[in-house]
Structure 1
Amino acid sequence: MRKTLVAILFLVTFLSVRAQQFGGHPPSQRWMQIRTPSVRVIYPQGWDSSSRRIATVVNLVTSLHDSSIGSRLMRTNIILQHQTTIPNGYVALAPFRSEFYMTPPSNPFELGSLAWGDQLALHEWRHVQQYSNFNRGLAKVFRVLLGQQGQAFANALTVPDWFFEGDAVFQETRMSRQGRGRLPSFFNGYRSIWEAGTNYSYMKLRNGSYRHFVPDHYEMGYQLVANGNEQYGPGFWKKVSENAAAMKGFFYPFQKAVKRYSGISFARFVDSSLLANRTRLGVPSSALRKGGPEVINEENPVYTESGDLLLVRSSYKQVPSFYLRTGQKDHFIRTRDMSLDNYFAYANGKIVYASFRRDTRWSWIDYSELQLLDLHSGKQQRITEKSKYFMPSLSAGGDSIVTVEASSAGKYALHILDVSGGLVKAIPNKQSHYYSHPMFYQGKIITAARNSAGDMSLLLVDPANGNEHPLTEWSQNLVGYPSGKGDTICFTMTSNGRDRNFALVFSSRQLLEWKEERDVSVTGEYQPSVFGSRLVSSRFTAGGYKISEQTAGVSQWQPVESIRPLTAFGLLAGDKPLVDVLAKDTVLNPGTSNYRKTTKFFNFHSWLPYYEDPELSFTIFGQNLLNTMQSELYILYNNNEGFKEIGFAGVYGGWFPYINAGLSYTLDRRARLENKQVYWNELEAQTGFQVPLNLSKGRSISNLTFGSDLVYNHAFFPEPQKTQYGIEPYFYLDNDLRFSHQVQQAKQHIFPRWAQTMRLQYRDALNQFDSWQLMATGSLYFPGLSVNHSFSMNLAAQQRDSSTGIRFTNDFPFARGYSDENLFRMGKIGVNYQLPIAYPDAGLWNIVYLMRMRMNFFYDHAVAKDSQRFATDGFVNFRSTGTELFFDTKWWNQLPVSFGIRYSRLLDDDVFGGTGRDRIDFVIPVNLIQARGAGNK
């Protein structure tokens, strides 16, 4: 496509949300809709009650006329995605819409126990309010100039991501009895780094690190938003965010607005807010250190029958893997398959866990499948396929499995399976509870459960009839990770501002809490397990999750006098919600109707004027709400040749293959033929298909994409040139196949330690000309000498016809340093060795932050043959060697950009031009602009 499209796609990618899926549902999917004055909810058939509840919550929030945000409200669309197992949600512009991923998080300690649709509605609707009120000042000018993507770009530059998310977490906390602001686990990140004595700069807290654990912007944002609201009133952030969105002050408008309305500098505001919150969260002062500890996670400790420990270990250098700890030694068992969490269960030499797998074609559909791993042989078997099972647990004999099913119909149930994955019993869920961490116990099942009000309890479930008996009182306190030994059930529960280990004496129903002479940590304790007199659990630290093993005596287990309810840690004016929106019994009952997939089929939302010498273009972009149709209209002027071009291109992803089509008409093309200036007009039309297949499973990520385009070109020459040259319309095919495979990557891995990519492209004129071109490229990635080093090889070959017909564009990756030309036959091999050289974790003026520097050493050897260009009929060598220095950075504290400088030493003459054999180039990758959006997790 045209060069301008490359730049356009950069910006479109930036304004998209990473989670967005194109053509993600099969044609059989049917959609319904309900409408209210403020929102339209688009939902799959069978989700009527959920859609009404969500519409009710957002309308109640809207009716409050909240003084902490402006009164503007753009009517939006919420789409309920019901076939993904990932719990998430987002709001984005270009086009303006929100999508809710309706499978709840299986672990309540991640995001809480509120009804999932309620929490999404509270959180995501705040993003709707933000975007509605941030279209002002210069942001509004950007919207006029560029459409919705203009506002998105302006808002991303001036309003920090921590405010977007912190403000939304604040809303879910103050408008419900829970929300993340009341969850101790939400503050584990900051508690851990404070406890470790780290003193990270504001820029490091904003941008993260490849070396050290840094809490995310949700935690930071909530603390700053809550403290600003407490210190300066509910209207403080309304004034600050409106000033920032309007770009008042232009440079650093958000920081200037904070100073304007608080009376103190932004740096002092951040420092004082975090210091005050540290006191509220009960973290004592400790000696300061500049850096943090190395991050090595040890999760889900489970005792074997012999008292050894099973665990999942991971780090910034290593992907999650199963280990057996005997004494002081860890023995590797197997790398864990791709999963949404690190939870697993063990019994009788077997490990069972849930792995994640995407559907082969439909990207909005994915699965949670059960894997059974033999501890002794290390062999693993997939026992369920295309299932949605979570939190599996084995019976003591290892012959049965109990697991939670969360179906795409929004129904939840406990299923008992045999070890081959066959369904033995679907236990009735009479109260419509959502379950977590079930386990077998004395012929019954013990499980954590949450109800529609967000209360949790530990339940005893009779598998014969589904009857439930609460073992703990229903409350907003989180409960999970039960494990049983004899008459004692250990579990984790929230109490007194922390997640703590508890035990229940089953026969007497006596509740005990694990007490220590002093709290060894201010963070939570999770996943307790008992073997004899030993108690093991996992604590969160600045170096990741760490296993804590202690001797369990009678003095440590103390009777519980009372369970303290959740608190807001002093970050709200009182612990009660400002308005408990979720407690209101109002229920909207708008009419339902079918939602046609062709609704606003083109839905043009943004436009982009763009200039790259010698071309000036103006493009209008469209995308429908279901994201099955993407399109663009454009007009282009070429200053060198003076031609004008208008065109349309679109792709439809609602069928198994993507169907694409385009049409362009060019006026006043010109060229010199036989020393005469010749003008003509040109029509080009194309249609084709593409099939994207996701073949990922287990421990590897694989994708296969193939397709073909049929292109028609008709040049309209005036007489006498039309008769003189006799050029007729012609067709050509453009066929393309791409395949990639890689293993999972740890955070510090520059490239996968094992990966392969391959591309085949064949273009062929079907009439008028004997023109054709075949290209094959591939890359192979291997481990280097150190764990974070990478060795790779690049291979390429291309050949075209030798006729004088049309020439296809040249995509051949030539030897670095040389000018590239479209030659008759070409081949290339390249070798690279890349390694990190520094992790500076330093930045300047809140503009650029340098996270990593890495070096690549390369050698390229290309050969080419073309008797019309060279004085020989044989192959000509083009060899080069050199180094590349790359900088992995973040700009404006949120936009990741990797760029580099390349020095090439040519070992042969550059016959295509250029002087000297030393070349220096700047390297800017095609992923210059990354995705950005406001989401939930």
Structure 2
Amino acid sequence: MKHKHIIINTLSLLSLIIYSQKSSAQFFEDSQAPLSQKWYKIETKNFQLIFPEEMKSKAPTLADQVNRSLRTTSRNYKITPRKIPFIIHNTNLQTNGFVQLSPRKSELYSTAGAEPDNQTWLPNLILHESRHVSQFDKLTGKLRAPFFEQLALAYYGLTVPSWYFEGDATLTETIYSEGGRGRLPAFEMPIKANFQSNHNYSFNKYLLGSYKDIVPSYYTIGYLMTSTLKSELPSNYEADLFSELNKKPLYPYNINRVLKKKIGGNSAYLYNKTIANLDAIWNKKTSDYQYQKYTEINKKNNNYYSSNLLPKHKNGLIYFIKQNPQKTNAIYTYDVATNTENRLVKTGIQLTPHFDVNSNYILWDELHKDPRFNKRTYSVINIMNLKTGKINQLSKQTRYYSPIFSPLDETIACVEVDLSNDSYLTLISLKNNSIIKRIKIGNAEQLQHPAFNSQGDKIIGIRLSQYGTALCEIDLNNNKITNLTPWGNQQYERPQYLPGMKIITKANFNGIDNIYSIDLISGKKQLLTKAQFGAFNPFYDKDTRQLFFNDYQYNGYKIAQTPIDTAFDIAPETDYFSHYYATALTKDSVKNIASVSVDTSQHYQIVPYRGLGRTFNFHSLSLSSSNFESFDNFKPGVFWLSNNILNTTQIALGYEYDTDIRKGVYSAELTYNKYLPKFSLRYENRGQIAAASIPNKPDSSIRFDWREHYISSQISIPLSFYRRDYVYSTGFNLATAYLRRYDLSRTDVKNFNYETAFPLTYQLYLNRNARMASMDLYPRWGQNFSVTYRHTPFENNAKGEILSARTVFYLPGFMSNHGFQIRLSAQTGSGIYQYINDIPLVSGFSYYKYEKIKNTVLVNYRFPIAYPDLGLGSLAYIKRVKGGIFADYQNIYKHREISPKSFGAYLSLDFNAFRYPLPDFEFVVKGTYINDNTATQRVVPTFSLNYTY
């Protein structure tokens, strides 16, 4: 019998759908440094230091610091860490660092920002990340490359809770240095304010966060909890703790089992014990502290926390930056006389909140990014004319922080950090944006928070070096830099000149952050504020002789003021800070070892970083070739993964089994991301099945199968950038493929297509979306366009083409954080593409009679319902409840009544599971009504579980 009419569903080859770039967090960091960077390395037996050319002069010092930190932080765990690469990135201005497995490495962003600290940035970061190296190796040291690093990561993530691994590292940076976050009163201040304001949040809330309330991250609560452990358990308890964890690696909530054995309770018990200890210390320490209650200026009855930062009194108005979860950051004005608040301008992304204002202009710094290489960012200066509202960008592709106006002429001063990590005070002319002068602060030193004197010839600022911190003065006439205070580990903020020989600054001399005056002649310090929890961001208004500042409360930083003449003496021995790390410090047996100076006479050889080891780095066998970014159409299999440590080359070799058709798939994929375009090449050898209809027997068919070689490739140019309150992305994609079939199971199949050669797909997209506040469900405004064209120019028997367009618009809803999404899509196809759908389909598409799709429209409205912060024991923690309604339209040119083809509503929960901060889960219940007479089912309920990293 001959089978002449064949139905083969193999058009998937021709449907090379390329979706627009979209922003989403990833569990595995995979961005690239700019192509222009030249890399060098230092090799030792314990580590490999990889760094850009500009850091060559500082590399030996950094190598000493890495060597010392690895040696120090590993002794508690009684191990010698295996050799690991440390990569120094100098082009990213965001202060960050991490250690990861799969592949095993540490990446350190070297540039310190404007965030105040009590010591220099990079040595402290190296100390913190070195502790993570020891943690990883102690628990997972036997699970190594080239096969088991991803397994090690999974085991570590399931075994060691986030509060422990970050808390332990934060405690380490505190007790093994003279700085560290644990020595800062501001670090524990939010927890102190919450509990002393009778907002006693749960352990789940501190661990997993909240949309509506201020809760510090698990770094803070983890630091406090590990301090309790280190204070109460034997010295160097960490090694024994991890050994106990390894004894029963598959035990559920393994950390709780070990904690019960060590301290008699689980992690929640440890949290409650820590809070009880802190409460007793806080009450004892501050029993004689007579704080002042300040009247909040511009008080609003907000449902959620809100901060009004950096108050400045100018032109009869108070200027400030507003931060809250409902809106993105913006500069506002407040008129005291009329009690009115007005938004002046949105700031865009800032590394640290900052602005300055004079009679005519307001200026601020803003973070920009390289459109292609995400590891390169910039900090530029924007200026707005207060009379006309016109905004200009004064600089491009610069590294400027904290710009301020000169009081005398059209000059601004700012902090500049170059690629060698050297800090400068840079003066810029507003007339032509040219640089007037650059004053280098010192080798490996930082400058923060500059401020002019009234004459405009001197600047005060914060100086950070290996000796700690100090207030300094820069004479602009002779470029001389003079320390105004001795070196120490004080966390200064925003110093300013007062009339006479006095200055003001935020400091914590008595263990609580407050505003102080310092007499430059006598050195006498006086309190100008006595805030209950902390006072920050001072601004002295010489016209009213008032001191404006931020008074911290449990629900944000509030604007307050006090006369500058109100001052309180402080006793030298006064100390209201908890110093919760102190007991752990005295018990640590390696503190003295850590204090020993490094042998700087050691010679390190610097050589270019190149070779095959820079390209190939096989590290893991995995069940997923996509790092578990999606479980859609998941097929069981195994893949051997290679990722080089600079994130430019990824390779995946694997086998998977398609359980639906019971066929195996062998694959090899290469992705190369070094250059402006990204390249990918994939090969598959896979089995397929199909069915052929039998002539004169329309209800009968015969199944047959075959195997095929499938090669696909793609070139993409993804670009994205920030401009004030908007995020832009644009790009172009080109894809093609080649398919060759063989081993057909039946010889009597006619018209079988053995080859499909190089169908082409092109895509161009452009997106512009407003930045989203943390409570937003959609951007308030957004326009997204994508055009895709596919055709088969090299085929004679399988001709066809399809052109499709997709647009998505976002509009604000009827209330805060509500939003509309309007999606319009259209397509036209011919030949082999005439039945291919290259646009989103309506909900319930498979439940009614098929018709050829020309266009679809979705109108979607989403809104938050509640923020319960509800913990279901250790099973789940619900942070947000959302709702929505939608209407789907299809082929609206045909249906004059313009009625929706389907419509419905949905309810979803945002939650975390098993006390893991990641991934974030969303459970969705959706009900769809099919508005079509041919529907096989009118009401279609669906349930889905989504996750994001």
CA shift, 1:735, in A, is: 1.7
- For residues 403 and 43 of structure 1, what CA distance do their matches in structure 2 show? 27
CA shift, 1:525, in A, is: 3.1
- For residues 587 and 403 of structure 2, what CA distance do their matches in structure 1 show? 36
Is it true that 1:23 corresponds to 2:44 in the alignment?
A: no
Q: Tell me, which stretches of 5 or more residues in structure 2 are unaligned?
A: 1-11, 18-23, 290-300, 625-630, 695-700
CA shift, 1:536, in A, is: 1.2
CA shift, 1:434, in A, is: 1.0
SS in 2 for 1:712: strand
Question: Is the CA contact (8 Å cut-off) linking 1:528 and 1:538 kept in structure 2?
Answer: no
- For residues 50 and 339 of structure 1, what CA distance do their matches in structure 2 show? 28
Is it true that 1:40 corresponds to 2:48 in the alignment?
A: yes
Is it true that 1:539 corresponds to 2:551 in the alignment?
A: yes
Is it true that 1:715 corresponds to 2:729 in the alignment?
A: no
CA shift, 1:483, in A, is: 2.1
CA shift, 1:671, in A, is: 4.4
Change (3 A) 1:655 1:875: farther
Of 871, 894, 914, the match for 1:843: 871
Residue in structure 2 matched with residue 606 of structure 1 by the alignment: 620
Q: 1:298 is matched by which residue type in structure 2?
A: N
- For residues 861 and 833 of structure 2, what CA distance do their matches in structure 1 show? 39
Residue in structure 1 matched with residue 697 of structure 2 by the alignment: none
- For residues 90 and 679 of structure 2, what CA distance do their matches in structure 1 show? 25
Residue in structure 2 matched with residue 690 of structure 1 by the alignment: 716
- For residues 161 and 705 of structure 1, what CA distance do their matches in structure 2 show? 37
Is it true that 1:738 corresponds to 2:738 in the alignment?
A: no
Is it true that 1:132 corresponds to 2:137 in the alignment?
A: yes
Q: 1:300 is matched by which residue type in structure 2?
A: L
Residue in structure 2 matched with residue 387 of structure 1 by the alignment: 398
- For residues 684 and 899 of structure 2, what CA distance do their matches in structure 1 show? 40
Residue in structure 1 matched with residue 827 of structure 2 by the alignment: 798
Is it true that 1:905 corresponds to 2:929 in the alignment?
A: yes
Residue in structure 1 matched with residue 906 of structure 2 by the alignment: 884
1:351-366 map, 5 Å: 351-366=362-377
- For residues 594 and 837 of structure 2, what CA distance do their matches in structure 1 show? 60
Question: Is the CA contact (8 Å cut-off) linking 1:448 and 1:456 kept in structure 2?
Answer: no
Q: Tell me, which stretches of 5 or more residues in structure 1 are unaligned?
A: 7-12, 866-871, 931-937
- For residues 547 and 25 of structure 2, what CA distance do their matches in structure 1 show? 48
Residue in structure 2 matched with residue 172 of structure 1 by the alignment: 173
Of 288, 294, 311, the match for 1:301: 311
Residue in structure 2 matched with residue 323 of structure 1 by the alignment: 332
Question: Is the CA contact (8 Å cut-off) linking 2:120 and 2:468 kept in structure 1?
Answer: no
Change (3 A) 1:700 1:446: same
Change (3 A) 1:823 1:152: farther
Question: Is the CA contact (8 Å cut-off) linking 1:477 and 1:494 kept in structure 2?
Answer: yes
- For residues 176 and 537 of structure 1, what CA distance do their matches in structure 2 show? 31
- For residues 73 and 161 of structure 2, what CA distance do their matches in structure 1 show? 24
SS in 2 for 1:104: coil
Change (3 A) 1:625 1:551: same
Is it true that 1:235 corresponds to 2:217 in the alignment?
A: no
Is it true that 1:95 corresponds to 2:117 in the alignment?
A: no
- For residues 488 and 574 of structure 2, what CA distance do their matches in structure 1 show? 9
- For residues 324 and 875 of structure 1, what CA distance do their matches in structure 2 show? 50
Q: TM-score, normalised by structure 2?
A: 0.87
CA shift, 1:905, in A, is: 0.9
CA shift, 1:697, in A, is: 1.4
SS in 2 for 1:353: strand
1:777-816 map, 5 Å: 777-801=806-830, 803=831, 805=832, 810-816=837-843
Q: 2:857 is matched by which residue type in structure 1?
A: I
Deviations 1:79-131 (A, max 9, x none): 111101111101111111111001013222xxx24232211110001111111
Residue in structure 2 matched with residue 270 of structure 1 by the alignment: 271
CA shift, 1:269, in A, is: 2.2
- For residues 374 and 597 of structure 1, what CA distance do their matches in structure 2 show? 53
- For residues 601 and 144 of structure 1, what CA distance do their matches in structure 2 show? 15
Change (3 A) 1:162 1:561: closer
- For residues 850 and 179 of structure 2, what CA distance do their matches in structure 1 show? 64
SS in 2 for 1:91: strand
- For residues 841 and 559 of structure 1, what CA distance do their matches in structure 2 show? 41
Residue in structure 2 matched with residue 63 of structure 1 by the alignment: 71
SS in 2 for 1:60: helix
Deviations 1:203-254 (A, max 9, x none): 1111111111111111101100011101112333433344346555712211
Q: 1:888 is matched by which residue type in structure 2?
A: D
Change (3 A) 1:574 1:364: closer
Q: 2:47 is matched by which residue type in structure 1?
A: V
Change (3 A) 1:37 1:730: same
1:426-465 map, 5 Å: 426-430=438-442, 432-441=444-453, 442-465=455-478
Question: Is the CA contact (8 Å cut-off) linking 2:64 and 2:598 kept in structure 1?
Answer: no
Residue in structure 2 matched with residue 773 of structure 1 by the alignment: 802
Change (3 A) 1:630 1:808: farther
Q: 2:800 is matched by which residue type in structure 1?
A: S
Q: 2:491 is matched by which residue type in structure 1?
A: L
Residue in structure 2 matched with residue 620 of structure 1 by the alignment: 640
Change (3 A) 1:385 1:783: same
Deviations 1:349-374 (A, max 9, x none): 32221111001222111110011122
Question: Is the CA contact (8 Å cut-off) linking 1:471 and 1:509 kept in structure 2?
Answer: no
Question: Is the CA contact (8 Å cut-off) linking 2:363 and 2:403 kept in structure 1?
Answer: yes
- For residues 753 and 15 of structure 1, what CA distance do their matches in structure 2 show? 24
- For residues 39 and 906 of structure 1, what CA distance do their matches in structure 2 show? 62
Residue in structure 1 matched with residue 692 of structure 2 by the alignment: 672
Deviations 1:657-679 (A, max 9, x none): 11111122235756436566554
SS in 2 for 1:751: coil
SS in 2 for 1:369: strand
Question: Is the CA contact (8 Å cut-off) linking 1:444 and 1:462 kept in structure 2?
Answer: yes
Residue in structure 2 matched with residue 523 of structure 1 by the alignment: 534
- For residues 873 and 292 of structure 1, what CA distance do their matches in structure 2 show? 47
- For residues 632 and 822 of structure 1, what CA distance do their matches in structure 2 show? 39
CA shift, 1:772, in A, is: 2.2
Residue in structure 1 matched with residue 786 of structure 2 by the alignment: 759
CA RMSD of aligned residues (A): 3.3
CA shift, 1:260, in A, is: 0.5
Q: 2:63 is matched by which residue type in structure 1?
A: A
Question: Is the CA contact (8 Å cut-off) linking 1:57 and 1:582 kept in structure 2?
Answer: no
Question: Is the CA contact (8 Å cut-off) linking 2:887 and 2:900 kept in structure 1?
Answer: no
- For residues 471 and 268 of structure 1, what CA distance do their matches in structure 2 show? 47
Deviations 1:402-430 (A, max 9, x none): 11100122221111111242101112435
Change (3 A) 1:146 1:199: farther
Of 383, 408, 411, the match for 2:419: 408
Change (3 A) 1:770 1:249: closer
- For residues 567 and 641 of structure 1, what CA distance do their matches in structure 2 show? 65
Residue in structure 2 matched with residue 250 of structure 1 by the alignment: 251
- For residues 401 and 555 of structure 2, what CA distance do their matches in structure 1 show? 27
Question: Is the CA contact (8 Å cut-off) linking 2:146 and 2:618 kept in structure 1?
Answer: no
Question: Is the CA contact (8 Å cut-off) linking 2:416 and 2:423 kept in structure 1?
Answer: yes
1:500-649 map, 5 Å: 500-505=514-519, 508=521, 510-515=523-528, 519-531=530-542, 532-553=544-565, 555-556=566-567, 558=569, 568-569=579-580, 571-573=582-584, 578-579=591-592, 581=594, 584-587=597-600, 588-596=602-610, 598-609=612-623, 615-649=635-669
